[in-house]
Homo-oligomer: A and B are copies of this chain.
Amino acid sequence: MCSMRRARRSVENELRRHGHARPRARTGPAVIRPAGDMAAPASRGSLRDLGEFRLIAALKRSFATPRPELIRGIGDDAAVIRWSADSHLLISTDLLTEQVHFDRHFASTYDIGYRGAVANLSDIAAMGGQPLYVLAALALPPSCSINDVRSLYRGMMAPCRKAGVALIGGDTSASRAGLHVTITILGRVEPNRVLTRNGARIGDILYVSGTLGDAYAGLRLLQASARSQSIPLIPPRFHQFLRARHLRPTARLALGRLLSTRQLASAAIDLSDGLSGDLGHLCRESRVGAEIDSTALPLSKPCRTLAAAWNQDPMDWALTGGEDYELLFTVPQDRQHRLERLARSRGEPITPIGRICSPRYGIRLKMPDGTTRNIAPTSYEHFRSSL
């Protein structure tokens, strides 16, 4: 969720602009361009011209400082620091901004705190680590009551306590406009057990946990309700399931630990930007390509049902919906059998969805008819779309 390279997908905004149009990934141009120099002509322009990913690449080039104890700095789900012989420190920070990452018309401050915490916990899960401590910095607008603030902390601490994470500090301030929440998480991981984005090798099997697109489907339902738009006739339990997947996502901490401690995965990332965007990050960092089998994408029945009712393709939601906080990871073929056995015995839902290919192959989606098409590594870029 964090580390500077990561843009958070904000489907709220996108939908606000596009109504019920198909996710932007398919309609717009590819938004990730070769990183330019921030000092070049673009530096005199607007953030919209540069785009978030180029901004972050330029910041990384300008300001990242190598240090001997720094195992991974800017460029992964969390930074990794060598701290003692038996443990590395993991740290990640994450910003949630009103009207960009959440909408208080249908998300309570409890929901906002809860999702913010899960986004951070998910970063630690994607590194194979154990989360330990959390800090929160809140800028509170006049519209926030004491109960709102208490609810925000309660929401944040619900998944944290479940994961054994303690609140150790933070900062509070008034805000002239909008609620802003920055959560910082500290974790621990054993040396040589860190999962990173850059370890995928050609031939590895690509896996994903859980089901994809649910959080986006839930968001669409919440937005429709908030605007008193008609809701399709799908079973109430489907509504509940999808809303909960948006408002109460699950960080895959146990799965991350399994992949890390048993050395099952070669690379991992958490799905915050959506499969196409996060797979793009993983492939770029590992310098590989990938092929996804479209028929293998795990879609829940509620998600498929809602998509059908709205006459949309749930695969689009799975690819670009974002904020599922599932893990995307790669596994060498010779460890596949062991992984599947262990995951089954632990009740961790995982699905093989494709394989890692040569970088020349690019990132492609295999359709049911056997044809393939390129997947644009599309992620939501804040500055291009919301400024």
On A, residues with C-beta under 8 Å from B are: 1-4, 6-8, 38-39, 42-47, 49-50, 52, 55-56, 58-59, 62-67, 70, 73-74, 78-79, 81, 83-85, 87, 89, 91-95, 97-101, 132-133, 135-140, 142, 144-147, 149-150, 153, 157, 161, 166-178, 180, 182, 184, 186, 382-383, 386-387
Contacts and interface: CB of A to CB of B under 8 A. Distances in A.
26 contacts: A2-B137, A3-B169, A3-B171, A6-B171, A7-B173, A44-B146, A44-B147, A47-B144, A63-B167, A64-B167, A64-B168, A67-B132, A73-B167, A74-B168, A74-B170, A78-B169, A81-B168, A84-B85, A92-B169, A93-B93, A93-B171, A95-B172, A100-B174, A174-B387, A175-B180, A176-B178
A176 B133 contact: no
A147 B1 CA distance: 25
Nearest to A77: B169
Q: How many copies does the complex hold?
A: 2
A2 B169 contact: yes
Nearest to A52: B172
A163 B341 CA distance: 50
> Which residue, A2, A97, A172, A184, has most C-beta atoms of chain B within 10 A?
A172
A383 B143 CA distance: 11
Contact of A176 (B4, B81, B85, B97): B97
B79 A137 contact: no
A212 to B, nearest CB: 23
A306 to B, nearest CB: 28
B172 A73 contact: no
Given A84-B83, A150-B62, A171 B46 contact: no
Contacts of A175: 97, 100, 178, 180
Nearest to A44: B147
Nearest to A137: B95
Contacts of A8: 171, 173
A101 B47 contact: no
A54 to B, nearest CB: 9
A125 to B, nearest CB: 17
A92 to B, nearest CB: 7
A104 to B, nearest CB: 12
Nearest to A3: B169
A359 to B, nearest CB: 26
The 3 closest A-B pairs by CB, nearest first: A177-B177, A84-B84, A65-B166
A383 to B, nearest CB: 6
Contacts of A171: 1-4, 6, 8, 93-95, 182
Contact of A97 (B38, B39, B139): B139
A283 B31 CA distance: 55
A70 B45 CA distance: 46
Contacts of A66: 166
Contact of A153 (B62, B91, B144): B62
B169 A139 contact: no
A176 B99 CA distance: 7
A39 B153 CA distance: 13
Given A47-B146, A70-B166, A174 B386 contact: yes
A173 B78 CA distance: 17
